Chains A and B, each alone.
Chain A
Amino acid sequence: MRWWLRWWLWRWLWRRLEAMLSHLPSLGVGLGFREPFKSDLFLNRQQVDFLEIVAEHYLDASWQKQQELELLAAHFPIIPHAINLSLGSAEGLDTDYLRKLAVLIKQLNPPWWSEHICFTKAGGVDIGHLSPLPYTQEAVEVVRRNIAEVRRWVDVPLILENITYMVTLPGAEMTEAQFLAEVVERSDCGLLLDITNLHTNAVNYGYDVHEFLQQLPCDRIVQLHFVGGHWHDGVLIDSHSQSTPVEVWQLMEEVVAHVPVKGIILERDENLPPFAELTKELQKAREISRSNGRWG
């Protein structure tokens, strides 16, 4: 392809994505849905603007889970959050999984959906863990190629989430922030910035979050995740088990001040507190957003 044609095509795609991301609706502050707090959620519906569901919980859903999904969808905007698509798998994607995911997304018709920048399958083996990718151009190309395949099945905008990791792979050609930027730009996706993951990695690997943020394409950040983890043997673990620490709140303040995020999700999975504590955190996130003029 001639250079000017490639340049024109690139610019066209870039503008299309910009238009697409800027037109995404603002959803507000919401919760990652977990079954144990379903009843409390409905009694506190006014305090939850939208829900994020783990897509895997509803792919081969029993009748009860289907009923649950219908109930949730009738009352809240829902964002499907996938875990096991394994966008970083060099051998390509599991089309059976992708087909089911596409059906779920079509059923919910969300404004966007999300996955992680990682791999969970390698050589046909399910690792059962979100594993980091090497920060190389080759890995960027693998993710880009897989996302192109995903787009043949799902035409809803995809946003990609940064993960935490316990190991850094050798042979990096760029920093993590540069890698994230390269992936979302090359694959024309939005970014789901998990500020707790960012904080956790920064603490465990001793880097500066502000420098990290400066290297990210902030105009692509669509949604935030936040929660608290716990310390274990001097390592901060992303366990989704504690209330949000002050450093993460500060990070949220900083990001929301500069980025017109469309949604913020509290992702609490373990050690579930009384629901009032969750709504208190949601309220705090809402105040941060309001004070920065993000939504009413």
Chain B
Amino acid sequence: MDKFLFGVLVMLLVVVLHNPASNPIANMYGPHFLLFYGFLITVTLLVSLWSVKHDSTASLPLPLVPSNPDPYEIAYLRGGENEVTRLVIFDLVQDGYLQINQDRIERSLDYPAPIHLSAIEREVFNWFSSPRSVGEVFQSSLPVNVKKHCTVYEQHLLNDQLLFPITAKEIAKRVAKTGMFIILGLGGYKLLIALLKGNFNVMLLIMMGIISSIILAIISQPPRLSQRGQAYLKRLQQTFEQFKTQVFPSTPDGTEFNILLPLALFGVDTLTGTPYAEFRDFFHPSGNVGISGGDSSCGSSSDGGSSCGGGSSCGGGGGCGGCGGG
């Protein structure tokens, strides 16, 4: 599709460069040009959208559901390092290393020996040398540091083609650049011609150029997950959907795995009404429920996509809102 847009660009350049001051585009009657411009903008936006919505993985069969699913890997699939960070914090709270004290998380007074912690858990535990708020968690370097421990998950997901393919990303980037050049170049050229001819009713032209550029910049962001990745995440969520509504026992003994898995799959909302609701409230204050992104205390994936699992089911109920896409 990038070649198609490139062809359009070349055609426009051929028409314009042949005689920059007088050519069919320069001489086109204003309203007619706006129609022509609108048509080109629409085509450009559609091509750009198509390039980020379709990738070669759509036709591949889905991987099997693992019989021993790794909650950290699933969390990484769903929402990148922010979801993993949240899961590790929950794990540490559950195991008594950390505790929630009002609106902050701090080390427990009698936490167990950290020697038993894995590298990723130790990274997070060490970061809580002093009490931290949820805003600090996602605005600090912690998620970036956590990501360093997630390379194995990233590689695994890339090998399974569950993340948006790098080649497709490059194509989408090229499409976006060419599209932007067409929109701004053609609009700018006509604006210049109009001003040279003494026509100053150019507000609509400027508005069209600016608004379509913003839309193009937004829609040409590739998702984190490939089509296969989105379908696989959905399959995992369907497979383990019963855990979303499972009533957890009042004591966490022996249930760690069962809690981590739904948390990884569906986000902190699954903790509502459980003994761990405090953790849910910490990351997902009631005022933020359903508010999509933008909250200062909320992390988003550093890959540029939302942490809702690439636009699939948003982690099952309000998962897009709140903090870090949980």
Task: Tell me if B62 is interfacial: C-beta within 8 Å of chain A.
Answer: yes
In the docked arrangement, what's the CA distance between A74 and B236, Å? 13
CB distance from A287 to the nearest CB of B (A): 21
What class of interface size applies to chain B in its complex with A? 10 to 19
In the docked arrangement, what's the CA distance between A40 and B65, Å? 12
Task: Tell me if A42 is interfacial: C-beta within 8 Å of chain B.
Answer: yes
Contacts of B243 in A (CB 8 A): 39
Task: Tell me if A68 is interfacial: C-beta within 8 Å of chain B.
Answer: yes
User: Is the pair A42, B238 in contact by a Cβ cutoff of 8 Å?
Assistant: no
In the docked arrangement, what's the CA distance between A45 and B239, Å? 12
Take A71-B235, A74-B62 as given contacts and tell me if A46 and B242 are in contact as well, using a CB distance cutoff of 8 Å.
no
Contacts of A74 in B (CB 8 A): 62, 64
CB distance from A178 to the nearest CB of B (A): 45
How many residues of chain A have a CB within 8 Å of chain B?
15
Take A42-B67, A45-B67, A46-B67 as given contacts and tell me if A71 and B242 are in contact as well, using a CB distance cutoff of 8 Å.
no
Task: Tell me if B281 is interfacial: C-beta within 8 Å of chain A.
Answer: no
Task: Tell me if B241 is interfacial: C-beta within 8 Å of chain A.
Answer: yes
A34-71 Cβ-contact flags toward B at 8 Å (1 or 0): 00111110111110000000000000000000011001
Residue of A nearest to B64 (CB): A75
Contacts of B239 in A (CB 8 A): 38-39, 42, 71
Contacts of B68 in A (CB 8 A): 43
Among A36, A37, A42, the residue within 8 A (CB) of B65 is A42
B46-75 Cβ-contact flags toward A at 8 Å (1 or 0): 000000000000000010110111000000
In the docked arrangement, what's the CA distance between A40 and B69, Å? 12
User: Is the pair B241, A39 in contact by a Cβ cutoff of 8 Å?
Assistant: yes
In the docked arrangement, what's the CA distance between A75 and B62, Å? 11
Contacts of B69 in A (CB 8 A): 43
In the docked arrangement, what's the CA distance between A38 and B64, Å? 15
B234-248 Cβ-contact flags toward A at 8 Å (1 or 0): 010011111100000
- List B residues 232-283 near A (Cβ within 8 Å): 235, 238-243
Residue of A nearest to B63 (CB): A74
Contacts of B62 in A (CB 8 A): 74
User: Is the pair A71, B238 in contact by a Cβ cutoff of 8 Å?
Assistant: yes
User: Is the pair B65, A71 in contact by a Cβ cutoff of 8 Å?
Assistant: yes
User: Is the pair A67, B64 in contact by a Cβ cutoff of 8 Å?
Assistant: no
Contacts of B241 in A (CB 8 A): 38-39
CB distance from A188 to the nearest CB of B (A): 37
A219-238 Cβ-contact flags toward B at 8 Å (1 or 0): 00000000000000000000
Interface residues of A (CB under 8 A from B): 36-40, 42-46, 67-68, 71, 74-75
Besides A71-B65, A74-B64, A75-B64, 7 new A-B residue pairs in contact (Cβ under 8 A), listed by A number: A39-B240, A42-B67, A43-B67, A43-B68, A45-B65, A46-B67, A71-B239
Q: Across the A-B interface, give the 8 residue pairs with the lowest CB-CB distance, nearest first.
A: A39-B242, A45-B67, A39-B240, A42-B239, A39-B243, A42-B65, A46-B67, A75-B64
* Between-chain CB contacts (< 8 Å), 28 pairs: A36-B242, A38-B239, A38-B242, A39-B239, A39-B240, A39-B241, A39-B242, A39-B243, A40-B242, A42-B65, A42-B239, A42-B240, A43-B67, A43-B68, A43-B69, A45-B65, A45-B67, A46-B67, A67-B238, A68-B238, A71-B65, A71-B235, A71-B238, A71-B239, A74-B62, A74-B64, A75-B64, A75-B65
Interface residues of B (CB under 8 A from A): 62, 64-65, 67-69, 235, 238-243
